[in-house]
Amino acid sequence: MADAEVIRFGFPDFASTLFAAKGPALQLADAHSRLANEMLSALPGQMNVEQAVIYVLVRMTTTGWVELLILMGNGAGLGAMKIARGMFETAVMAEYLRQVPAEIDDYLEYGRILQFKRVKVSPGVVSPERFAEFEVEFNRAKTRFQDQNGRTRNQWNKHPISYMAEKVGRKEQYELPYSLAASIHHGNFEALTAHLSGDGSALEVESPPSLEWVNQALISGHTYLLQALDTLNDLLNLGFDDRLRLASKEFGKVWSNP
């Protein structure tokens, strides 16, 4: 029996085009990815619950960075922008909860609300006994998130991501790169125009591989990566202060003329 043909995904031949356009930024991205791995290897043996929540949010951000690089490296800049949007949210939430740890209980308890909502839609996925347990936990937790009319809010925090971003000093990032990425994700008119290519004389949609939106995705994701690493360092006192200050200076130098 003949071997099945290996199917290639992505556009590996695009690498030379990408490195010709963004070589220094990509080299720094690789260096700071290795810094992230080094910091993750320096974690303490134990964490309390609050630290663990923030740590996992940081890990979501660093994992998003890897995903972003894969998409960007294959000329899928618009897809990478969608990943950058998620990186912004997890990085902001991590820093917000580091600064306002009293709200970590809300973050955890809202899991009871989400859990019951999921099994309520498809009750057959769990046993009747387990469903009853989820319902008890939901009824216990829901009063924490109800307004004066008894309506349960739709997210763990009573404030939107814009509030959290402003609280941690990232309002400008929310107003432009994040909101633009959100538009691309939600498919509004701004997303429609972002997907178009050419001079406007014909209805052409930009398809990978392309350098379009690679710049925006790379600088956004790299920013959120470094911010998340700052949060992790401050949270656990990892001792990477000097390395992170240097990383910030290197970032500023590479992107001083994007």
Domain ranges in the chain are 23-36+47-101+169-254
Q: Given a cut of 60, is residue 32 above it in pLDDT?
A: yes
Judge contact between 178 and 88, C-beta under 8 A: yes
Q: How far apart are CA 246 and CA 249, in angstroms?
A: 5
Report pTM: 0.93
> Widest CA span of the chain, in angstroms?
69
Q: Given a cut of 60, is residue 258 above it in pLDDT?
A: no
Amino acid letter for position 22: K
Question: Where residue 5 falls among pLDDT bands split at 50, 70, 90?
Answer: confident
Q: Is 142 helix (H, G, I), strand (E, B) or coil?
A: helix
* pLDDT of amino acid 241: 98
- Which tens digit of pLDDT belongs to each residue from 130-179? 999 999 999 999 999 998 888 999 999 989 999 999 999 999 999 999 99
Which residues are bridge partners to 152 per DSSP? 146
Q: Which residues contact 246 (CB under 8 A, 6 or more apart)?
A: none
Q: Given a cut of 70, is residue 192 above it in pLDDT?
A: yes
Q: How is residue 76 annotated by DSSP?
A: -
